[in-house]
Each structure stands twice: as C-alpha cells, then as structure tokens.
C-alpha cells in the first residue's frame, strides 16, 4: 500500500509541471507599449516591471483598447512582486485611459495584472485586445482626444463626402497631427486600432494636418459655440453605391515618425447610388 501511495504521489508531481500555467508573464519596458490579448485559454495577463534608480517615482499606467469602442472592460492591478500586495486597481471601460497613477513607488520589482473586469473567461473564439504602457514621465506620450471621439458625417453626394471630428478642449502645450484614411468596405476590411498608421496602404491615406499655431493640409478648422473646435475634411473620388470606412488617427508627432497614437471611432459612409 505504501508503494502504491508513493506512485500516486509521484504521478501527481509529474503531471503538474506538464500542465499549462494560468499565469502568463511578460515584461514591460519604460515608455514602450506592449500588446495584451485576453482569450479563453488566457483570461489574464501578468507583466513584470522593474523600477530602477534610488528614489521613489510616480508610475503612470496607460491602457487602450484595440477595438473602438472596446468590446469589454478590463481590470488593471498593480502588485508588489516580493509579497503580492495590491497597491492599486482600476477598471477600464473606455477606448483609452490613464488607468492608474501611483505615487511614491520605491525601486523594486512589480507585477501589472490585466484581466476581464468581471473575472469571467472570454467565450471561445472571442478575444479582447489591448495595449499597455508604463511611464514615469510627467507628460503623457499619447495625444489628447475629446471625451466624444467620434467622426461624423457632415455632407455627402454621389462622388464625395465631408466628415468632421472634434478636437480636445486644450491643444497646448504642443501641436497634434491628424491623419485621415478612407477605404472601401469589403469582407476583408478589418480594423485594429492598435495597428500603426504606417502599416496601412498608402493608397487609402487622404491627408495629414497639424494643429497649433497654424494648420497645414486640406482640412479646415471650425470654431463652434462653447469653445468647441472641430476639423472638417472633404473626401473626393468616391464611387456611387459604395460603402467606405473613414478613420482618423491623432498623434503628438508633427512628422511621419509617429510613435504613440490614438484613433477616433470609425465612421461608415454609404455613398448614394443616385443623386
């Protein structure tokens, strides 16, 4: 009997290391965004981050969804690695947000946990895609977006359309760059808001323009009541009866070397077949 018990105990030890751990670890680098995908087989993601130096810092954790608007909410949790103590937690349900800003974080090793907000496992075949960025800098590496980040249709006919999008209340201290992309909607027109603009085909780019002391490009700036400012872009060359997807990217860069960016909510335009 003792021999049988010993074999059973050994069998349990052999099977456990072979199983897939429920914890999936990655490593975050200061100021560099990392992709997080939550799915049935991986309902949570834990990333390691190390605070170097000799003085305490403020950790700013930015999270954005690759779907605009996001398909689900996620919970962001900062833990101290040495004892697992939870230092801060927050639920993110928007496309982009500074999820956490934790002050007086001493040098050492930490874990950042990303999981579904309600603790449920995503259903089979469904994914929740996000990016996360940690920065100790005082200024956000991301551009500003207004609370209502939707692209709207102003006018359209059989050959063209004019679209508008709101600018953030304050565009200081620097300029922001906006690029408009338009492409026909097909069965293969998937949209990933985390895909860098330079990965999109050059043929679908309409224009880019910079706000600030002056505006360059084909877009027009409109001042509206309540200090609301919008930009308008006229898109020509459309074909009657076709459906088009309009995407607007915002970034803090004023050149083509765009680093971090955000995307407005996609607009679908149905062009009339007859006017």
Percent of the chain with pLDDT over 90: 56
Q: Which string of DSSP letters, residue by residue, matches 128-176?
A: EEEEEEEE-SSS-SSPP--SS-B-EEEEE-SS-EEEEEEPPS---SS-E
Do 55 and 98 lie in one domain? The reply is yes
Looking at the structure of the chain, the number of domains it has is: 2
Do 157 and 266 lie in one domain? The reply is yes
| Structure-block tokens of residue 4 | 């049988």
Report the alpha-carbon distance of residue 127 to residue 149 in Å, rounded: 23
Q: Which of 135, 167, 184 is the last residue of a domain?
A: 135
Instruction: Specify the CATH number for the domain of residue 57.
Output: 2.60.120.380
Going by C-alpha positions, the residue among 170, 106, 104 that lies closest to residue 140 is 170
Do 104 and 165 lie in one domain? The reply is no
Residue 199: the pLDDT is: 87
Do 241 and 201 lie in one domain? The reply is yes
Do 112 and 176 lie in one domain? The reply is no
Average pLDDT of the residues in 209-237: 69
Going by C-alpha positions, the residue among 190, 182, 186, 185 that lies closest to residue 249 is 182
pLDDT tens digits along 120-152: 777 777 888 999 999 998 888 899 999 899 999
Residues 230/156, Cβ–Cβ less than 8 Å = no
Residue 170: the pLDDT is: 65
Do 263 and 165 lie in one domain? The reply is yes
Per the structure, the complete domain to which residue 201 belongs is given by: 152-270
Mean pLDDT of the residues in the chain: 83
Residues 6 or more apart in contact with residue 173 via CB below 8 angstroms: none
Print burial letters for 83-104: b (CB count within 10 Å at least 16), e (below 16).
Answer: eeeeebebebebbbbebbeeee
Residue 62 counted as domain residue: yes
Residue 15 counted as domain residue: no
Question: Which phi and psi (to 5°) does residue 2 adopt?
Answer: -65, -35
Q: Which of 103, 135, 167 is the last residue of a domain?
A: 135
Residue 196: the pLDDT is: 87
Peptide bond before residue 210 is cis, with ω within 30 degrees of 0: no
Residue 71: the pLDDT is: 86
Residue 9: the pLDDT is: 34
Q: Which of 135, 166, 189 is the last residue of a domain?
A: 135
Residue 138: the pLDDT is: 87
Residues 6 or more apart in contact with residue 188 via CB below 8 angstroms: none
Evaluate if residue 84 carries a pLDDT over 80: yes
């Amino acid at each position: 009997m003792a021999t049988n018990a010993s074999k059973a105990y050994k069998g349990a030890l052999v099977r456990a290391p072979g199983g897939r751990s429920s914890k999936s670890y990655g490593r975050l680098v200061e100021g560099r965004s990392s992709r997080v995908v939550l799915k049935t087989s991986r309902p949570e993601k834990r990333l390691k981050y190390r605070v170097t130096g000799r003085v305490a810092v403020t950790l700013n954790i930015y999270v954005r969804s690759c779907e605009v608007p996001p398909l689900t909410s996620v919970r962001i949790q900062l833990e101290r690695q040495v004892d697992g103590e939870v230092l801060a937690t927050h639920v993110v349900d928007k496309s982009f947000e500074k999820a956490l800003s934790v002050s007086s974080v001493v040098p050492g090793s930490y874990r950042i946990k990303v999981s579904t907000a309600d603790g449920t496992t995503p259903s089979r075949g469904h994914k929740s895609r996000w990016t996360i960025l940690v920065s100790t800098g005082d200024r956000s590496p991301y551009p500003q977006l207004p609370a209502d980040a939707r692209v709207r249709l102003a006018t359209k006919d059989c050959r063209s359309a004019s679209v508008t999008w709101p600018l953030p209340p304050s565009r200081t201290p620097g300029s922001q760059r906006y690029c408009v992309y338009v492409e026909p909607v097909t069965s293969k027109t998937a949209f990933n808001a985390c895909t860098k603009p330079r990965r999109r085909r050059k043929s679908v780019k309409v224009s880019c323009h910079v706000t600030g002391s002056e505006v360059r490009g084909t877009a027009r700036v409109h001042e509206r009541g309540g200090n609301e400012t919008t930009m308008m872009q006229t898109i020509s060359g459309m074909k009657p009866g076709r459906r088009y997807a309009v995407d607007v990217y915002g970034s803090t860069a004023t050149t083509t070397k765009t680093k971090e960016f955000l995307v407005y909510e996609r607009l679908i335009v149905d062009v009339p077949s007859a006017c």
